[in-house]
Amino acid sequence: MRIEDADYVIIGGGAAGSVVANRLSGDPSIRVVLLEAGPAADGFWNKMPSGGLTRMNKPEADWCHKTEPDPSLNGRDMVWNAGRILGGGSAINGMVYIRGDRSDYDQWANELGCTGWSWSDVFPYFLKSEKFQGTPSQTHGTHGPLGVSAPRMQHPLAETFIDACEEYGLRRVEDYCAGDVDGAFKMLATQDNGQRASTARAFLDDAMKRSNLQVVTGALVDRVTIENGRATGVKFEHEGTVHTLGARREVIVSGGSLQSPVILMRSGIGPADQLREHGIDVVVDAAEVGKNLQEHISFASAFEVNVPTWNNLFKPLKLASEFLKYLFLRKGLMTMIPVEAMAYIRSKPDLGFPDVKLSLGLMMFDPAKGGPHEEPGMVIFQNVAKPESRGEIRLRSANPSDGPLIDHRLIGDPQDMAAMVRGVKKVQEIFAQPALGKHVVRQVLPEPMPQSDAEWADAIRNRSGIGFHPVGTCRMGGDEASVVDPRLRVRGVEGLRVVDASIMPIMPAANTNAPSIMVGEKGADLILEDAAAFA
C-alpha cells in the first residue's frame, strides 16, 4: 500500500475521528489520511448489534488497557476497554444514544471558558449527525448518516420501571434529547434498520469511496512530528515498516481519552519531567496533558422478577430461533441494547440537579457462572452522574506498543462515595414501588446484602466497575493551562488539534458516544472554518 502525504492526517478512526474524516474529505480538493491502529469494521458480526458487544475484551478489536491498582477500589486493578477498530468504542459499545443535559454544555461555556460550546452552540451538531427513525421532531435530525432509533427489542418492564419512578416522585421525560434528563425515560439506540450504527458504518462506508480519503488500518502511531513549533506529520508503524507521513495543513489527534494524551507526550507535549524521564525531548511543557481523567463508576443492583426477561432466551434452541429472527427480520434478541431505560435521581432532596444516574437492563448476570442468570431478572447500573473523582494518564514508556499507564481513583472523592451509598438505597425504594414491587421476588445483588452504610461502601469498593466513559485528559478551556483552546488547537504548537472525548473539561451527565460524535462534527467545522479564513 502506498500512503501519500495529505492536507490533513487524522490519528484514530473512532467515534470522533471517523466523523472528522468524513466531513473534511467532503471537499474533493482536500486530501485526508485516516490512521487507525485496529482493523476494519466490516462484516456481518460488526453489523449485527450484539455482535459488536462480543468483540469487547478481544484484543483484535479492544485495546484491553489494564489499570494500576486503585486504592479507592481496595487496591483492585481492572481492564478499561477501548475500541481498537474503525468506529472505536461505537463499534463495540452498548449503542445507547444520549446527548446529556443542556446544563452540561452551558457549564463548559459559561464557567470553564469554552466559548462556543454552550447547549445552543452544540445542539445543531447533534442534529447534523442524526438520521432519526421515529416520529419527526424538532429535536432530531433526519438527514445525517448516523442511524438513531428506538431499539427493536424492548421489554415491557422498561415501561414499568418508568411507572415506578413516577410513583417515587420522578418526572417522566418525554424527550430527553432536548437537553433535559431530569427524570426517567426509555432509551434510543445507535441502530439503523436493526443494524449497529457505528461511526465506521455511518461516516466511513460511503466516504471511503472518495479518491481523496485514504483509510489505513493496522497503523500504530508513535508520534506527531513537529518542526519549528508546527506539526508537520505523523510517524507510525504499518505492516512492520516505520513511515513518516507529511501533513500539509494539520494533524488531528483523535485517539480517545486514553491514547490521545500519550500520543501528545511521545510528541514532546506534556509534563516536562515525565517526558525527560522517558528520553523524550520537550517541545511544550504542558503540565495538564494526561491530567483531569474522569470515568463513571458502575455498581450493579440486581433483582429477580416473576415475569420472563431476556435471561429466559439464553437457551440453545431459543438462541437459535432469535438468531434466525435477526437474520431474516432484523429483530429479536440480537438487536437488544443493554440499557433500555434511565433515571436521574437526587440522592439528597436539596440538590439543584440529579447527582446519580441509573441505567436499567433487562438481563441479569450470575457472577458465579460468568453468564446470564438462570432466573429472570433486572439490573440497575448506578453511576455518579458527574463524578468529582479524578485520575491521570501517564507514559508507561516511549514505546507506543506499551500503551498508557492509567492511574485513577474511580471513587476517590468522598462526595462520590456518599452519593453512591445514598443512591443504592433509593434504588431499593424505587423497586419497592407498587408498579415494580408486584414483580420483584428478591434482590440478588449485591450478595451478601449490606446492612449499614459502611458495608455498602465496602461493597461498592469491592464490586464496582467502569462505565466505559473516560474523558478529560486533554482538557479544553479558556485558560492558558488548558491543553487545547476552544477551537481544539493544542496550545504551543501550530497545525495540531485534538478532537475526541479527551477535550471534554467535565464529563457530561451521560454516556459519551453521542457527545464524542458531536465533538467530531464541531471539530471538523472549526478546522474547515480556519482553513477558509487563511485561504
Q: Among candidates 355, 364, 339, which has minimal Cα distance to 423?
A: 355
- Give the closest residue to 509 by CA, choosing from 345, 320, 308: 345
**String of DSSP letters for 303-371:** EEESS--GGGG-SHHHHHHHHHHHHHHS-SGGG--S--EEEEE-SSTT-SS--EEEEEES--EETTTTE
Buried b or exposed e, range 46-64, using 16+ CB within 10 angstroms? bbbbbbbbebbeeeebbbe
> Which residue type is seen at 21?
A
At a CB cut-off of 8 Å and minimum separation 6, what does 328 contact?
A: none
Query: Are the C-beta atoms of 313 and 333 separated by less than 8 Å?
Result: yes
DSSP string for 263-289: HHHHTTEE-HHHHHHTT---SEE-TTT
Residue recorded with cell 407498587: 434
d(CA 385, CA 389): 11
Is the separation of the CB atoms in 435 and 260 below 8 Å? no
Q: Is 469 a catalytic residue?
A: yes
**Whole-angstrom Cα distance, residue 475 to residue 486?**
10
What is the distance between the alpha carbons of residues 296 and 239, in angstroms, rounded to a whole number?
A: 36
CB 309 within 8 A of CB 363: yes
Q: CB neighbours (10 Å) of residue 116?
A: 12
Using DSSP, state whether 145 is helix, strand or coil.
coil
Q: Residue 276 CB: number of other CB atoms within 10 A?
A: 11
List, in order, residues 6 or more apart from 220 with CB less than 8 Å away.
37, 236, 237, 238, 400, 401
Cell of 527: 478546522
CA pair distance 18, 177, nearest whole angstrom:
23
CA separation for the pair 261, 511 (Å, rounded) = 21
Distance CA 87, CA 436 (A): 38
| Catalytically annotated residue among 155, 373, 408, 469 | 469
> Residues with catalytic annotation?
469
